[in-house]
Every structure is written in structure tokens, then in C-alpha cells.
């Protein structure tokens, strides 16, 4: 499962982001387009958005550990340009996971059998929205077999959600290359709901 981690936090004081943009390499500040200083790191690959208030976001890392490394790199960068700030708080706010089942899924059948947990309105959104209770997360399931899992606090929760959901999704696998989802809807399945 691939993942993308979003972390947020705040420093102990406000920043002059315009001046920082002039002093820091790989930094971009275009206030007309976006009101934060954007810093890009290559290792770990991350994007940091730093606001005048001292608040910041770290996005694009693959794990909470990489997110912490990006935070350490941010603090080192600020220290090099003569800013001795402290982090007041930092937390991983959200982890988004993604996976490819490598088979197509009958979304209409899944929505019917698991209606308690699903929302599927193909005229509004092409994916089925499945709200799991344990672990508490939301899974977007697409007919192509691609999945997006949101609302995770740890990557382990994403693995757990995928392991719980995989057998259910196999029951709604499209066996042929037919684009007609409803052709397999009459097959029996155990209909067990996932919590």
C-alpha cells in the first residue's frame, strides 16, 4: 500500500516569510498565488508550507518517520539562516493510503450488499465510498480496482483496513472484461458486513 502523510504544527513565533524566501534555497514565496512559503526537500521527498504565523504543514512524505525527518530538516534550515525557533507542537494529522487490487470491482453489487456502510452515486462521483468502523477510515473504491483510504492515523491502520476489505472486494470481482457492472450482480455472496 502506498501512502501520503500530512503533518501539521507550529513554531514558537511569527516568521518573516518574504525574507526567508530570499535566504533559503528551494523556497518559493508568491503571495498573490498562495500565502505561504513553500519549501521542497528531496530527501526525504517532502513539501513544507510555512505561514507567517509560524504554523506549517508537511506533505508528501511516505511515512510518519519521513515526516519527522522533514521537520528536522526544516528546523536545520531555519537555524542555518539565523532563526532559533522551537516547535511548539507537531502531529501527523492524516495518512492517505492507496492500492491497486489488479482486478475490476462490481460497485453496484457491493453498494447493495453493504448499504449500511456505502454511498454510491455514480452520476455524482465515480467511486464507491465505504466507511469502515474498525479501523475508522473511509475507503474510496473504483471500478478499476484502485483504492484510496483516508482518515488513517497510522500506516498500520491502512494495512489492517486493506486486509479486512480485500476478501469482501474479491466477492465483487468482475471476472470478464465486460464494462457492464450489473451482469454479475445476481451472483450470491456471503454479504458479511465489515465494521
Query: In this structure, is residue 194 part of a structural domain?
Result: no
Q: How far is CA 28 from the centre of its chain?
A: 24
The whole-angstrom separation of Cα 155 and Cα 73 is: 22
Chain centre to alpha carbon of residue 135: 15
Residue 164 has pLDDT above 90, yes or no: yes
Q: 41: domain CATH number?
A: 3.30.310.10
pLDDT at 184: 44
pLDDT for 117 equals 95
Final residue before a domain boundary, out of 71, 93, 115: 93
Task: Look at residue 28 and tell me if it is in a domain.
Answer: yes
For cell 458479511, what's the residue? 192
Is 184 among the domain residues?
Answer: no
Number of domains observed in the structure of the chain:
2
The answer to whether residue 188 sits within a structural domain is no
Give 74's contacts (C-beta < 8 A, 6+ positions apart). Answer: 39, 48, 50, 56, 58
- Co-location of 47 and 113 in the same domain: no
**For residue 53, what are the domain limits?**
2-93
Cell 465505504 appears where? 130
pLDDT single digits (tens) 66-119: 999 999 999 998 888 877 788 889 999 899 999 999 999 999 999 999 999 999
Residue located via cell numbers 502531529: 91
In a domain, 185, yes or no: no
Query: Which triple of cell numbers denotes residue 97?
Result: 493510503
Amino acid at each position: 500500500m502506498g501512502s501520503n502523510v500530512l503533518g501539521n504544527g507550529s513554531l514558537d513565533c511569527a516568521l518573516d516569510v518574504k525574507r526567508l524566501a530570499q535566504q533559503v534555497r528551494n523556497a518559493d514565496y508568491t503571495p498573490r498565488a498562495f500565502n505561504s512559503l513553500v519549501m521542497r526537500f528531496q530527501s526525504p521527498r517532502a513539501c513544507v508550507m510555512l505561514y507567517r504565523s509560524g504554523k506549517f504543514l508537511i506533505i508528501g512524505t511516505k511515512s510518519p518517520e519521513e515526516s519527522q525527518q522533514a521537520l528536522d530538516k526544516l528546523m536545520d534550515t531555519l537555524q542555518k539562516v539565523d532563526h532559533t525557533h522551537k516547535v511548539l507542537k507537531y502531529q501527523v494529522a492524516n495518512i492517505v493510503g492507496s492500492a491497486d487490487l489488479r482486478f475490476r470491482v462490481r460497485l453496484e453489487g457491493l453498494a447493495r450488499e453493504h448499504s449500511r456502510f456505502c454511498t454510491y452515486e455514480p452520476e455524482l462521483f465515480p467511486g464507491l465510498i465505504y466507511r469502515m468502523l474498525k479501523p475508522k477510515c473511509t475507503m474510496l473504491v473504483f471500478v478499476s480496482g484502485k483504492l484510496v483510504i483516508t482518515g488513517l492515523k497510522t500506516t498500520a491502520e491502512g494495512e489492517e483496513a486493506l486486509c479486512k476489505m480485500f476478501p469482501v472486494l474479491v466477492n465483487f470481482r468482475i471476472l470478464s472484461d465486460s464494462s457492464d457492472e450489473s451482469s454479475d450482480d445476481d451472483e450470491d455472496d456471503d454479504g458479511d458486513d465489515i465494521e
